Structure 1
């Protein structure tokens, strides 16, 4: 084991230097950000198994993928999608074109000014401690466009973002500002049917009493990879409901990062990842309470079949200033094969002494008694297994905003039970 780990970094990083050299010159509104990202990538090594946060995440797939940035000359064709609901604005993010072109924004939604973008871009990444993470620098080095929007005070907006990965690198950057008492329902779909890498960095700042309901559905293929950072910053009395679903990717790594700036906010996290074959799905979440009376309800679920590998690390930080925090974190996992693997590590770091905090983790297989019960009522074995797996997933799926759930077809969630 030691010899293989020592050899891995050399094989993994061999592609990085020539890839950086082949990137087109920095250009556009994010040229300065691109320069900083490329310098950072050149100066730091690729994450390796020697690092605790990456020891279960094999990045060797990246060396095999076409990683030329997506080009406007090769437009992406979206697969058929359900008709958008009448009050939902659907935008296509391709990393190249202006997603707002040709659209009339609903009342209460407006683009951020150049000055606001310069001030806000990267702020929440820094506040949540991930501005120097390797996947973030990768996004910085290549993203040429940012979707930057403001939701006005007391406005209610429903938004849907859709992206289809070409046979290339698709860097997506989103910046959201929710003013006081603003409400945003955001559904985002990332789709990949061919080889390539989707890189997503989303930042959102919620002012006092604002609310964000965010559902991310990412459906990939075994020859595609996803690297995503979701950084959210909450002022007092704000509320976030964040639900993520990933399935099908050869490699998928999501890092939700939440900061309750002065506490007194509410955060609800729901996650579901499905792996089979030799797929890897890795979620590293981080929640930081910056003040008292914060609320956290986190549930992460995984289904692993074949030789798939699921990884979950959930860190919750409760410093002395965060008295009367109420935080609950649970990892529940379904193991469908003796060759699949689940690594789960919920963790609490508590310094405050007046808190209610709990965490736990379970790993189980389909229950023989439940399968027998369904089969005894005329349901065949495969259908019974599918029903039980669907029921296991439903606790997370039902939390998705309706547009995101509509694009989460049942057949994509049916893993082989043997």
Structure 2
């Protein structure tokens, strides 16, 4: 009898259905995108452990988050670097209003946005991924920028928000031999969902250095896709640092459209408590003589869980590809968990491709050495953690590096 009086469990996906029903009518420059995204969410099932790519990613936290529009919040940051442009970007309004752009940086026209939006997502094979469709359904504005040929631009994007849903959409076009240093901060200051979709197209000889610092809290989630198309002789470097999120999932995806480009991926995720950090990368070479240098690191303590899945595709057309992928992980608790799965799919027969994965704890002999020099046990452990993380932190653009000291990362993770 008691069982019959219990309230029925909520239907699977009821939280999403409630949000879709309550969402305001699609409007503005992304109205058609919003409509298509909402319809796709109604048709697509929410990812679950039955999906191989989501086998270790528990989305239960999303059911508890407020999905009303998040309000912007201030972020405590150093002064903007000399020569750089800092934009406070909330996703719902245009951060370029009354903003003078530096030489070499231009806003894309409506026609250019209509032509370019979604192109790189399709090229990278993720235009219909569930987190991307969620962003399509929610994003009200796209920040669309061009870096003109042979220009050098330094840009900072700061997105700090309180409770609620924040949807960010960025479209970047780098013309021939253009250079962009992009430092990006996403910071949760309340319970909520942060959705990010970036598309970047690099023309011949262009260079992009993108540093993403994402600092969350236990009752906040981050779902992010970063898709890049690279033409020959271009260089793309994405360095990402994630800490503190109850759930964080990052999907960096790069396609070298004709090969002969260079892609560098650096990732660091720090988890503690019962948090989950998940990175799924994908790199495809569609022509010869491409290069990939990928290093992913994770630090897991408490009951935290870190997941890494890195896929590299080398078809027959991609002869003389040189790709290296390494996953290195530091396990600080018997109850923490790390799942890592580097993948190489190689058809070409003239390549240099390697991958590897390691999971270890702090080395007893290294701790003993430091303690024998008069350093106490806690400080010795902190020094070893710093050394482990620094290999990724030092690759961030200067501005992003100043935003995420190791102390701040560990503080966010607790």
Question: If the length of structure 1 is used for normalisation, what is the TM-score?
Answer: 0.95
Q: Which residue of structure 2 lines up, in the alignment, with residue 402 of structure 1?
A: 398
User: CA 1:168–1:116 in structure 2 vs 1: closer, same or farther (change >3 Å)?
Assistant: same
Name the CA distance, whole Å, in 1 between partners of 2:98 and 2:89. Answer: 13
- Which of 292, 309, 313 pairs up with 1:313? 309
Choose from 92, 97, 120 the match for 2:93.
97
Match of 1:28?
A: 28
Q: Root-mean-square deviation (CA), in Å?
A: 1.5
State the match for 2:223 in structure 1: 227
Counterpart mapping for 1:118-157 below 5 A: 118-157=114-153
Is the CA contact (8 Å cut-off) linking 1:316 and 1:349 kept in structure 2? yes
Single out whichever of 153-162 and 98-107 deviates more from structure 2.
98-107
> 1:79-94, aligned counterparts within 5 Å?
79-94=75-90
Contact 2:175–2:206, Cα closer than 8 Å, also in 1: yes
Task: Give the unaligned 5+ runs of structure 2.
Answer: 1-8
In the TM superposition, what is the alpha-carbon distance from 1:415 to its structure 2 partner?
7.2
Report matched runs for 1:340-351 at 5 Å. 340-351=336-347
Q: Structure 1: which 5+ runs fail to align?
A: 1-8
Aligned length: 406
* Separation in structure 2 between the aligned mates of residue 417 and residue 214 of structure 1, nearest angstrom: 23
- Once residues 324 and 309 of structure 1 are traced to their aligned partners in structure 2, the CA distance between those partners, rounded to angstroms, is 36
Cα shift at 1:24:
0.5
Note if contact 1:390-1:414 (Cα within 8 Å) is conserved in structure 2. no
Please report how far the alpha carbon of residue 14 of structure 1 lies from its aligned counterpart in structure 2 after TM superposition: 2.2
Partners in 1 of 2:411 and 2:99 — Cα distance?
39
Give the superposition deviation at 1:12. Answer: 4.5
TM-fit CA distance, 1:376? 1.5
- SS state of the match for residue 49, structure 1? coil
Say yes or no: does 1:56 pair with 2:56: yes
The residue number in structure 2 matching 1:292 is: 288
Which string of whole-angstrom CA distances, capped at 9 and with x for unpartnered residues, describes residues 187-220 of structure 1?
0000012100110000000000000000000011
**Which SS does the other structure have where 1:30 is aligned?**
helix
Partner of 1:384: 380
Shift of 1:174: 0.2
Normalization by structure 2: what TM-score?
A: 0.96
- Counterpart for residue 325 of structure 1: 321
Q: In 2, Cα distance between the equivalents of 1:303 and 1:167?
A: 27
2: distance between equivalents of 1:321 and 1:10? 50
Q: State the 4+ residue runs in structure 1 displaced beyond 2 angstroms.
A: 9-12, 412-418
2:239 corresponds in structure 1 to: 243
- Aligned equivalents of 2:406, 2:330: Cα separation in 1: 17
Deviation per residue, 1:253-275 (Å, 9 max, x gap): 00001000000000010000000
SS at match of 2:29: coil
Asked whether the equivalents of residues 238 and 265 of structure 1 are also in contact (C-alpha less than 8 Å), the reply is yes
Deviation at 1:381, TM superposition (A): 1.1
Q: How much does 1:96 deviate?
A: 1.8
In structure 2, the residue matched to 1:263 is 259
Query: Corresponding residue for 2:4?
Result: none
- What whole-Å deviation, never above 9, does each CA across 1:11-62 have from its counterpart, x for those lacking one? 5412111211000000110000000000000001100000000010000000
